[in-house]
Amino acid sequence: MASPELHILVLAGGESTRVKTGTPKALLDLCGQPLLGHILDVAGNLTAQSHTLVLGPTHQAPIEAWMQKAGYEAWKVVIQPEAKGTGDAVRCALASLPATGKLLILCGDTPLLETETLAFLAEQVGGALLTCLVDNPTGYGRILREEESGALLKIVEEDDADEEIRKVCEINAGVYFLDLEALHGAIAHLDTQNAQGELYLTDAAVAILSDSDGTVVCLEDGEDEIQGVNDLVDFAEVVASKRQNILEQHLLAGVIVVDPVTTFIETGVTIGAGTTIHPFSVLRAGVKVGRGCSVGPFSHLRPGTELADGAEVGNFVETKNAKLGLGAKAKHLSYLGDAIIGQKANIGCGTITANYDGKNKHQTIIGDRAFIGSGTVLVAPVKVGIGSITGAGAIVPKGKDVADGQTVVGVPARPHPKQNG
């Protein structure tokens, strides 16, 4: 468990120039959540006295706006006026941190780090550095060790490394657990005598860990976990790893994913055991699916969708903020937005809940055991009663509710003449 005197610092002060999108790298959508949100959530799983985020002025406004909307008010934002290295970023943050305690330092673009790894680092008495053995160390700082003892000697950045050092495959993962009092002193003595003319946090970290007999924790099979995002090629690799992790969690929980390669499930989706997800289905963040359901192929379940046990959503069906009751079915080519659908209701092919009037969204309510004929348009707000029926191609205008047990047909929909004798 993390130390009670723990403080957490996340560095995200870069200008995102290498992603070339013109937008903050931190806000790239990674499986339904901004990239930065993943690392803030993992760090937030640890018990800490404070949480600090370093940002640059270029993207400060959009990132802070997202944080406020997403509920990250506990994180204090510190601005690094110029991108002058990780050591400078830490120096900017130290003014708002206490003089004593322990500091866990993370990079904001390493979203696959796991809580267990960070918790283990934060238990090391003399501080810790996270490293990893990788097949291709290009771009990373290399770990140099004393030949006989294996003790940490130095971290050499790519631009400062010669050909021999660049062959080293143990790299710095950019995660540090350091004593705050020692860090204050070490940062004050950093200089810019290096290839990039920057203040290197690595220099301070090595000095602190050497003096405190700190621990170097090497992940020998953790290349995916420490993967950073410098450009969109890196980001695509991180997305693939995150998708795979999410799918594995659902498979191990008893969810039948017919073709994981073509199935997209975002973070925060819950799916009950025994449910089958067919190929080319997309389940967005926050979707809830019960036990024994069937989704797809080619289904798109957007945020706010909830399927009760045994519900079925079939090919080319899109749902948004829709709740389907026990055993409800929508098997073909339908859009169900802002809808509540009762138990064992049957939604015919081509059904549309017309939820948007150009200014506001409105709700459609479909009762238990209702039968919605193919091609029906339900113009919200509207209710279709328990056990009621709409004929094929019917258009039910807004406010023209269908009573329980009633059958309506036509455009606009009216009670079926035979029903009235």
For the four alpha carbons of 191, 197, 203 and 204, in that order, the dihedral sign comes to positive
Same domain, yes or no, for 57 and 121?
yes
* Bridge partners, residue 296, by sequence: none
Residue 240 is assigned to a structural domain of this protein = no
Pair (82, 44) in one structural domain = yes
Token pair listed for 343: 């138990």
Q: What is the tens place of the pLDDT at every residue in 160-172?
A: 999 999 999 999 9
Q: Which two tokens stand for residue 202?
A: 């690595």
CA 304 – CA 152 distance, rounded (Å): 50
Residue 242 lies in a domain: no
Identify the pLDDT of residue 139.
Answer: 87
Q: Say what the pLDDT of residue 220 is.
A: 83
Which ranges constitute the DSSP H helices of 314-392?
none
Indicate whether 419 pLDDT > 80.
Answer: no
Q: How far apart are CA 333 and CA 90, in angstroms?
A: 54
CATH number at residue 182: 3.90.550.10
Question: Is residue 57 scored above 60 in pLDDT?
Answer: yes
Is the pLDDT reported for residue 1 higher than 50?
no
Question: What's the confidence (pLDDT) of residue 2?
Answer: 54
Task: Tell me the CATH number at 357.
Answer: 2.160.10.10
103 belongs to a structural domain: yes
Cα–Cα distance for residue pair 370/328, rounded to 1 Å: 9
Q: What is the mean pLDDT of the chain?
A: 95
Same domain, 107 and 11: yes
User: 81 lies in a domain?
Assistant: yes
The total domain count for the chain is 2
Q: Are the C-beta atoms of residues 46 and 70 closer than 8 Å to each other?
A: no
- The mean-pLDDT minimum among 120-124, 248-252, 402-406, 415-419 falls in 415-419
SS3 322: strand
According to DSSP, the β-strands at 6-12 and 102-107 are: parallel
pLDDT tier at 111, thresholds 50, 70, 90: very high
Looking at residue 421, its pLDDT comes to 44
Kindly state the tokens that stand for 111.
Answer: 């979203």
Same domain assignment for residues 226 and 313: no
CA distance 64 to 79: 11
Specify whether 198 is located in the same domain as 318: no
The 10s digit of each residue's pLDDT in 3-30 is 569 999 999 998 889 999 999 999 999 9
Residues 259 and 210 in one domain: no
Same structural domain, 259 and 390: yes
What would the mean pLDDT of 60-80 be, rounded to a whole number? 96
pTM: 0.91
Average pLDDT over residues 162-184: 95
Domain that holds residue 79: 6-232
Residues serving a catalytic function are: 332
Q: Tens digit of pLDDT for each residue in 198-238? A: 888 999 999 999 999 999 999 988 889 999 999 999 999 99
Q: Do 294 and 198 share a structural domain?
A: no
- Among 197, 232, 267, the domain boundary falls at 232
Residues 284, 264: contact at Cβ < 8 Å? no
Q: Is residue 305 part of a domain?
A: yes
- Asked if residue 95 belongs to a domain, the reply is yes
